[in-house]
Chain A
Amino acid sequence: MNSEQKEHAGLAETFNKDEDRVNWHDETLWWIRQKRDKSAHNIPEWETLRNTASAIKNHVLSNLHNYLVEFEANAKANGIIVHWAANAQEHNQIVHGILKEHGITQMVKSKSMLTEECHLNEYLAQQGVDVIDSDLGERIVQLAKEPPSHIVLPCIHKKKEEIGEIFHENLGTPAGVSDPQVLTETARQHLRETFLTRKVALTGVNFAIAETGDFVVCTNEGNADMGAHLSDVHIACMGIEKLIPKRRHLAIFLRLLTRSATGQPITTYSSHFRKPRPGQQMHLVLVDNGRSTQLGRPDFRNSLKCIRCGACMNTCPVYRRSGGHSYHSAIAGPIGSILAPNLDMRQYADLPFASTLCGSCSNVCPVKIDIHDQLYKWRQVIVKEGYGNKAKGVGLKVMNWTLSSPGAYHTAGKLGRAVMRIAPFAVNNPLNPWYKHREMPQAPKESFGEWYKKNRK
C-alpha cells in the first residue's frame, strides 16, 4: 500500500481482524494508564504542576525567538557546535555532513522521535551509513523493519514470541526463546559491542535550557549515555520547541514526565549535557521542520508544548484499539493527529477524525494541551481546505447525512423523518456500516413530538 492511500479507518479495521490481539494491546496500554494514575495521585500538587508546566511552555512559545538565541549563545560558549535545520532534509544532510567529515559509516543512535519524523535512518542508509538504534524497543522494530508504534514504547505492538523470532533470525538466539529476561540480555551483549566500536553517537533531547545551554536526555536503559560518553563525536538533535527558560524549571518537567509516561517517579537516567568531554566534539542540531508554521496557527500552536510523554496514547481508547501504525505517521495517537496535518494536510487529513473527541487525552496531558479541542478544530480546517473526502473512509454516507441535514431543516422547517432516514443508524441495509455489528434502534409507535401533541396540547 503506498502512503498516499493509507487512512486510519482502514488500517484500524485490519488491526481489528485479530480481536485477541486488540484485547491484549488495549489491556497492556490501559495498565500503563493505571500506573500513571497511581503515580499522579501520589502527588497532591499534580494539577498545579500541570498548570505551571503549561504556563512555562506557553511563555516559551511566545518568546521562542529570544530563547533560541540565548540558548545558542550559551551552548556555543560551552563548546558545543550548533546547527540549524529548516526541514527534515536539511537535518539529515547536516548529520550526514558531520559523519562524512569524520569518515564515519557506522553510528549508534538512542531514541529520538525527531529523527523518526525526519526519516534519518532511511536517508543515511541511502548514503551508505549503517545506523544501529540502541533503545531496546527501537532496535526490535528496526530489526523487524517497522517504524515504532508508540513514542515511548516503540514495540508495544509486538508479542514476546514475535520478538523471540526476530532475535532468533537476527541475533542467533535459539528458536522459541521468548523470555524477556533472556532476550534483553542478548540485546545487551550485542549492543555493548556496538557502543564500544562506534565513534559517533546520536541522541535526542528531552529539554534544553536557555539560561545555561544544558540539554537533558532521559532514558531508563542508559543507552544514550553509553553511546555519548564512549563516542568521539556526539550529535544531539532537537526540535526548536524543546526549550525551557531556566534550569530550575526542570524540577517541574522531570516530576511530570515519567509519571505521566509510565508511572515511574523519574527515568533511571536524566543526563544533563553541557560541555563536550575533553577531546570530544559535541554537535547540536536545532530543527524547525514545520514547527515555526505551527507556531503561526493560533488554534494549534500550543501543540508545540508537547514533551512526548505518550500519556495521551496510553489513555486513548481509539489508539489502544487501533494500534500505533494505523496513524501512518511518525508520531501516532492523539498528539500525532494534531501535529501531522501541519506537516501535510492532505496526507494526514484522516487523523483528526480518528477520535471520538472523548477528551481523556487532554486530561492526562502533563502540559495541558487541549488535544481534543484541536482535533475538532483541525476537522473544520481540513473540510474548509477541501481535504474532507480523504478524511472519510466510509465517507459518503456520513457526508450525506451531515450535509443534507441543514438543507433539510431549511426547506422542511423542521426535522422530519426524511432526514432521519439517511442517518446511519436508521438505514437498515447490510452496506450500512452501523448495521454490520449493531442492530438498528427500534422505531417507536410515535415520536416524542407526536406524543407531545396528543398529550400536552
Chain B
Amino acid sequence: MNSREQILAKVAANQSATLSLPADVTFTPDGDVLETFKAVALAVGSKLFEVNQVSEIPGMITEQFPFAKRIVSPLPEMAVIAETDLAGINDPHTLKDVDLAILQPHFAVAENSAAWITEDRMGQRIVPFICQHLAIIVPVQDIVATMHQAYERIANADYGFGGFIAGPSKTADIEQSLVLGAHGPRSMTIFLVR
C-alpha cells in the first residue's frame, strides 16, 4: 500500500459514524453597513476618501502620492496616471519597484473591512502584495454586511487565485507593538464611490 492508500484506509477505519452537517447559519447585524465599514477600515489602519465619481480619483492620487514613481493599475480609468498593461507581464519580479497599485475589488465586507478580489482584477497575482502602497476603489453599493453575505456573493466563482484584503500589511510580532508595512503594502487607501 502506498501512503495515500494507507492513510485513507486508516482514516476510514478510525473515523466515527457520520455526524450530520449543521444547517447553514447566516447573520445580518443591525447597524448601517457603510458606517460600520468605515469605522472598521479606519481601525485596521486603512485611509478613506469619499468621491462622487471614479474620474476624481487620478487627481486625488497624484495629490496623495506625490512620491510615487511607478503606479500600476489594470483599470482603464487610471491610464492617465498608471501603467495598465499588467496582463502582458511575464515575470512578476519586474513589479518589484511598484510604488502604488490601484485595484477594484468585487466587493468589500463591513464587519471587517476586507475586500474580495480575484486575480483577473489584479493584473498579476503579486500586484496587491508587492506594491509599496495599495489603493482600492469600492462603490458603496458593493459593501456587504458580513462574511456570510460575502460567500453568498462569491458562490462557486471560478478563479485561480482570490483573496480578502483588509488594510495594510502589518505585524505585532515584536512585543505586540503594531507596525504597519510588514512584507506587503505599507498603506491601504480606500476610495469609496458614492
Contact = CB atoms under 8 A, between A and B. Distances in A.
A247 B156 contact: yes
Interface in B140-194: 146-148, 150-152, 154-156, 159-177, 179, 181-185
Interface in B39-57: 40, 44
With most chain A CB atoms within 10 A of its CB, the pick from B4, B18, B24, B150 is B4
A65 to B, nearest CB: 4
Contact of B183 (A134, A212, A266): A134
B166 A191 contact: no
B4 to A, nearest CB: 4
Contacts, number: 241
A436 B177 CA distance: 37
B107 to A, nearest CB: 14
B66 interface: no
A277 interface: yes
B146 A255 contact: yes
B97 to A, nearest CB: 11
A240 B154 contact: no
Interface in A161-219: 163, 180-181, 183-185, 188, 191-192, 195-196, 212
Contact of A59 (B2, B19, B93, B174): B19
Nearest to B10: A292
Contacts of B12: 65
B155 to A, nearest CB: 8
A-side interface size class: 35 or more
Interface string A16-45: 000000000000100110000000000011
Contacts of A424: none
B15 interface: yes
B129 A160 contact: no
A269 B14 contact: no
B104 interface: no
Nearest to A65: B12
A273 B159 CA distance: 9
Nearest to A139: B173
A222 B159 contact: no
B157 to A, nearest CB: 9
Contacts of B126: 225-226, 229-230
Interface in B9-68: 10-22, 24-27, 29, 40, 44
A69 B124 CA distance: 31
A48 B25 contact: yes
Contacts of A273: 161
Interface stretch (B69-77, B78-86, B109-117): B109-117
Interface in A140-170: 140, 153-156, 159-160, 163
With most chain B CB atoms within 10 A of its CB, the pick from A62, A140, A220 is A220
A267 B167 CA distance: 9
A61 B183 contact: no
B-side interface size class: 35 or more
Interface string A48-81: 1101100110110111110011000000000000
B183 A188 contact: yes
A232 B181 CA distance: 25
A183 B172 CA distance: 11
B21 A180 contact: no
Interface stretch (A293-301, A367-375, A409-417): A293-301
B177 A221 contact: no
A220 B182 contact: yes
B52 to A, nearest CB: 28
Contacts of A7: none
Nearest to B182: A221
A188 B175 contact: no
A61 B15 contact: yes
B100 interface: no
Contact of A86 (B7, B125, B168): B7
Contact of B11 (A140, A183, A276, A292): A292
A346 B110 CA distance: 49
Given A265-B166, A269-B165, A250 B8 contact: no
A159 B183 CA distance: 22
Contact of B147 (A180, A229, A240, A250): A250
Interface string A270-288: 1111111100000000101
A140 B152 CA distance: 40
A181 B174 CA distance: 9
A270 B117 CA distance: 11
B173 A292 contact: no
A268 interface: yes
B46 to A, nearest CB: 10
B161 A154 contact: no
A65 B21 contact: no
A350 interface: no
Given A196-B93, A247-B156, A301-B16, A272 B179 contact: no
A230 B25 CA distance: 37
A223 interface: yes
B182 A184 contact: yes
Contacts of B166: 265-269
Interface in B82-106: 92-93, 96
Contacts of A266: 112, 114, 147, 164, 166
Contacts of A427: none
A295 B174 CA distance: 37
A251 B150 contact: yes
A349 interface: no
A264 interface: yes
B8 to A, nearest CB: 6
Contacts of A240: 7, 11
Given A184-B182, A191-B183, 10 more contacts: A45-B27, A61-B15, A180-B174, A180-B179, A183-B174, A222-B129, A225-B126, A251-B150, A266-B112, A275-B161
Nearest 6 Cβ contacts at the A-B interface:
A222-B184, A296-B14, A221-B182, A265-B112, A137-B173, A275-B160
